[in-house]
Structure 1
Amino acid sequence: MGKVVVILLLATAILGGVGIWYTQTWAFWAPVEGPVTLTLAEGQDLMMLPASDVSAIRSASSPLGFRACFTHGLDTGALADTLPAERREGVAPTVAPGWFDCFDAAAIGALLEEGGARAYTAYPNVAYGVDRIVALAPDGRGWAWHELNDCGDRAYDGSPLGPACPDRETFTPLVEGSL
């Protein structure tokens, strides 16, 4: 009898582990169908990025679950101080599922830290309290992901939102490809 209980416990643990692994790496992730909105934002103005070879995924379970890889034709060295976008310091791309191999969060983070790429606000409040961040490297590679902004930090930790945050009742999120 004891052997049967141990076998059942082990089988349950293995099946539970496989289920958790599957949900974290496959179940909620899907390719983005249609055009991906890749812009640079300056206040309320948006400049479309000259992006090609775009590959993007999103997670159905979280507005933070967006990752994209693309190539661009911008001369980032010449445009570094004149790009019409808010430059973002201290951003950190989050890990993508292993099968989305064009997005290596550790390598992108290292490029940002050493100055080999620059990050910008691509679209403020793509979802409530979430900004789309774009990182551009001089060699023509680019990446995009979502990150909480100040309103998102406040909304999710329970702090008062303040007047700079959009009204949650009338907020309309970005619908991918709608620009």
Structure 2
Amino acid sequence: MGKFLAALIIVCAVGAGAGIYYLNEYAYYEEVELHPGLDVALLPLDSEEPVAIAYDEFQAIDASSSPIRYRACFTTPLKRYEMAHTYTLSDQKTPRIAPRWFDCFDAEAIGAALEADTATAFLSAKNISYGVDRIVVVTDDGQGFVWHELNNCGKKAYDGTVVGESCPDLPEASQ
């Protein structure tokens, strides 16, 4: 009887682990519907409205389960050092990891490029969802990457601390 219970516990643990892995890696993700000419935008230094930039080979995934699951890859003919004079920079240096099967988005390589100063991070949009900003990174070779990141208001809202007056009003909870 003891061997049977031990085997049952192991089978349940393996099944639960496989289920959690599947849910994190595959479930909920969907390809993003493309909007040619509008999918990649950056926030100009003198404006609060994002402006579309030139890009090609765009592919993106998102999930309705979380506002920070968005990932995208693209190419651009624009030079990052020229873009830095026109668009708002971001101090974000750590991209969020994408599912393994979305192989164009390598968070470690993007982070290394940002640290090595061969890539620049830009702010695309503030509060794309409450407390979440869209970050765009462009490398020296014209590769581009996009992800969503919690801003200060989002970090405060999700950890339960008081958000303060500098943050927009929290959205009403759906009933």
TM over 0.5: yes
On the 8 A contact 2:93/2:115 being kept in 1, the answer is no
Q: What displacement does 1:37 show?
A: 3.2
CA drift at 1:60: 2.2
Instruction: Give % identity.
Output: 41
Alpha-carbon RMSD across the aligned residues, in angstroms, is 1.7
Counterparts of 1:67-86 in structure 2 under 5 Å? 67-80=71-84, 82-83=85-86, 85-86=87-88
SS in 2 for 1:17: helix
Q: Distance in 1 between matches of 2:140 and 2:51?
A: 19
Structure 2, gaps ≥5 residues long: none
> In structure 2, the residue corresponding to 1:87 is in which secondary structure?
coil
Q: Give the corresponding residue for 1:60.
A: 64
Higher relative contact order (CA 8 A, sep 6+): 1
Equivalent residue, structure 2, for 1:32: 32
Q: Residue 79 of structure 1: CA displacement?
A: 3.4
Residues 136-175 of structure 1 show CA distances to partners (whole Å, capped at 9, x for unaligned) of: 11211000000011111221233332333222348xxxxx
Task: Indicate the residue corresponding to 2:156 in structure 1.
Answer: 154
Structure 2 distance, partners of 1:59, 1:151, is: 21
Deviation (angstroms), 1:91: 2.9
Aligned to 2:119: 117
Structure 2 match to 1:129: 131
**One-letter code of the match for 1:55?**
Q
TM-score scaled to structure 1, two decimals?
A: 0.86
Question: How many corresponding residue pairs?
Answer: 168
SS of the residue aligned with 2:50? Answer: strand
- Indicate which of 91, 94, 98 corresponds to 1:92: 94
1:20 lines up with 2:15 in the alignment: no
